[in-house]
Structure 1
Amino acid sequence: MNETSTGYKKWLVWGVMVTAYMLVFFHRYSMGSMGDFIMKEFGTTAAVIGMIGAMYSWAYMLMQLPAGMLADSIGPRYTAATGMLVTFLGSLIFAYAPSVHVVMLGRFIIGIGVSVIFISTLRIQASWFSPTEFTRMSGLTVFMGKIGALIAETPLVIMIEKYGWRNTSVIIGVASLIIAILIFLFVRNTPQGDKYEHSDVSIWEGLISALKNKYTWFPMLVFFGIYASFIAFSAQWGNKFLQDVYHISKT
């Protein structure tokens, strides 16, 4: 990092990337607000709605290694911008789906699109911010992502009640397209431009090295157990639980 990374430029780059990351959390939590509307339109069951929600998680999980490989090979800028374009496509498929199976497909494609954003954001942070700032910026990034989750609650329900879940999905898709354009226009891999130094370590060497590190296993198990269960409940069924058990309104 050099002096060109100081000032407003690094904050502009980070701001665009973190806006994309807010959309990651938005989609993660959106089915908790959309589920009832989709269930009513297609006359389907809660189990099917659960499967629709799970499509995001399956896609996100399967894309983690490819996401890192893409960020290393073509750079985080193009990886993130392409991810937002894929999210735009998935949102349109989701919005215009004639059946629940196509809804699932759209949700899966959305999961693929957003799966590359976090690792790309971390790559950008590592290039634009000093090592002493990296941890603080990572925490701030996650904090901003949670704002996306909050938008997927009451604000999303209000939008759906006013415009319908299909039109709302189109609006969110257009937002993804706008973010993709902003990434192309304003984000660069490094303060020096898009020149990106690739790692000489292969993906398998990196994976084996990570698995051999004893400090990797504990947080991995925490995410596998506690965090996964928390997300499954809060993102998918938390709203429904509060409505049915405590008779709280959707908004």
Structure 2
Amino acid sequence: MTFGFRWVLGRPWLVWSVAALAYVAAVLNRSTIGASATEAAQRFSAEPQLLSVLVVLQVIVYAAAQIPAGALLDRFGARAVLTVGVSLMALGQLGVAVTEQVAAAVAARAVVGAGDAVIFIAVLHLVPNWFDQRRAPLVRQLTSMTGQLGQIVSAVGFAAAVRHAGWLTAYAGAAALSLLVAMLVVLVVREHPPGVVVNRAALPRPTAKAVFTNPGTHLAFFSHMGTQFPCTAFNLLWGIPYLIHAQELSPTTAGLMLSLTVVSGLVCGPIVGLFSGRWPQYRTGLVLACVAAMAACWTVVLVWPGRAPIWLLALLLVVIGAGLPVSTTAFDQARDLNAAQNLGVAQGVTNIGGYSATFVVIQVVGLLLGAFGGGYGREEFHAAWAVQYLVWLISVVGIVISARRTLGAQRQACVISQ
């Protein structure tokens, strides 16, 4: 009996499935304010600028915690970090559930952000321990894809729960679900397969300087920045209000439309994962092509006279949804271009790229909507969404420069080794 139980715990896909479930919970919890944006504005009597603070502070905490989270991963392992992270999200969501004061809600969302910060990179930290190098890129894509199921639960299920069961019940339910996931992590997740013993004290010490000065880390950072933020900023807060008020869709239709980003990620994820594993030399080209496609789709939507047709909005959501699996290739770059003992910190730095851009876009859109009179009109939204082009420009310049430096460093290393 004992042997059979330990064998079940050691199965790679079971361990990964429970860890990925923690990421589903993370995506659900981070996007609940966006799914209940209209109700949040009413509950807290919040203007667009103040409403954006609920999400922006959460994103700031998330981004700021990435490097410490990576260091904790390198020191304590994924199981302990996942357990603490999911538990923090439960605590934060419970705080949001019971308060009617915006200051307390902001603080509670900061706790959610702190817990969320460790989840994705902790799951990625497990992948090379349980899967071989060729399969690892595909598993990383599956992780990203599976996590986005939390977006569907949030946009459809959670939004319906807020409308029909009420704020307290919906947010308390999210907290209870998170606690259940934390218990599953304790029971199932293990750092290594049975029989593998790792003496962490004997491993080379992580060196943050080596990560920060590595042009490969810079490449991963800017690759993640350019491809991740369009979908994340849309899903976290401004997507639902934009579709309802600017594009005049019903709340139900808007929630279903938002789910197209997840469907797109589910379809594109395995393709991108196989591509990244088989042709790693073309990852940068894939990232740049994705940025160009997203910018082109947004341009057509923004210049379209009047309300955009439903097919065009669907195309936009499919394309920005594909950006999420493409952004995950940045973690493949971070892993391949950094030493193993620095992997946690390198993944944390990479993750900052997309979420720092998300923070800027969410906050600037909120500020501009407030400056335009506090309304959610089509013209106001379209002017505010234009901030994305500046972020894309910065990311593309960063990708080109860091890609050249990375190639130069690799050529120099080859010369030295000869």
Give yes or no for TM over 0.5: yes
In structure 1, C-alpha distance between the alignment counterparts of 2:52 and 2:192, rounded to whole Å: 40
Q: Would the aligned equivalents of 1:189 and 1:195 in 2 still touch at CA under 8 Å?
A: no
Secondary structure of the corresponding residue to residue 249 of structure 2: coil
| Cα distance in 2 for residues equivalent to 1:111 and 1:60 | 5
How far 1:232 moved relative to its partner? 2.1
1:11 Cα deviation after fit: 1.3
Letter in 2 for 1:131: Q
Q: Which moved more, 1:5-14 or 1:64-73?
A: 5-14
Counting only pairs closer than 5 Å after superposition, residues 98-109 of structure 1 correspond to structure 2 as 98-109=100-111
Q: Which residue identity lines up with residue 125 of structure 2 in the other structure?
A: R
133 and 179 in structure 1: CA distance in 2 versus 1, 3 angstrom threshold = same
In structure 2, do the counterparts of structure 1 residues 73 and 153 end up closer, same or farther at CA, with 3 Å as the change threshold? same
Query: RCO higher in 1 or 2 (8 Å CA, sep ≥ 6)?
Result: 1
The more displaced of 177-186 and 37-46 is: 37-46
Alpha carbons of 1:38 and 1:125: their partners in 2 closer, same or farther (altered >3 Å)? same
**C-alpha separation between the residues in 2 aligned to 1:19 and 1:116?**
14
**2: distance between equivalents of 1:247 and 1:193?**
58
Shift of 1:5: 8.1
Q: Deviations over 1:21-67 (max 9, x none)?
A: 11222233222211211211222212111000112201111111111
Q: By how many angstroms is 1:194 displaced? A: 9.1
Give SS of 2:135's match: helix
* Greater CA drift, 169-178 or 225-234: 225-234
| Distance across 2 between alignment mates of 1:6 and 1:99 | 46
Change (3 A) 1:102 1:195: farther
Query: 2:194 is paired with a residue of what secondary structure?
Result: coil
Displacement of 1:139 in angstroms is: 0.6
Unpaired runs of 5+ in structure 2? 1-5, 253-418
Q: Which runs of 5+ in 1 are unaligned?
A: none
Give the % identical residues: 24
Instruction: State the partner residue of 1:83.
Output: 85
Structure 2 counterpart of 1:214:
215
Larger radius of gyration: 2
TM-score, structure 1 as length reference: 0.89
* TM-score computed with the length of structure 2 as normaliser: 0.55
SS of residue paired to 1:152: helix
Kept after mapping to 2: 8 A contact 1:53/1:107? yes
For the 8 Å contact 2:9–2:15, the answer to whether it is kept is: no
How far 1:242 moved relative to its partner? 0.7
Query: In the alignment, what sits opposite 1:228?
Result: 229
Aligned residues: 245
State the 1:19 CA deviation: 0.5
- Structure 2 CA distance for aligned equivalents of residues 194 and 176 of structure 1: 30
**1:76-123, Cα deviation, whole Å (9 max, x unpaired):** 101101111111111111111130111001110011111111121112
In the TM superposition, what are the counterparts of 1:1-251 in structure 2 within 5 Å? 9-192=11-194, 196-198=198-200, 199-202=203-206, 205=207, 207-225=208-226, 227-251=228-252
Q: Which amino acid aligns with 1:250?
A: P
- Runs of 4 or more consecutive aligned structure 1 residues displaced over 6 Å after TM superposition: 4-8
- Conserved? CA contact 2:30–2:112, under 8 Å: no
Q: Note closer, same or farther for the CA distance 1:61–1:10 as it changes in structure 2 (3 Å cut).
A: same
Secondary structure at 1:131 match in 2: coil
Provide the aligned C-alpha RMSD in A. 2.2
Provide the rounded CA distance (Å) in 2 between the counterparts of 1:52 and 1:193. Answer: 45
Q: Is the 8 A contact 1:124 1:189 kept in 2?
A: yes
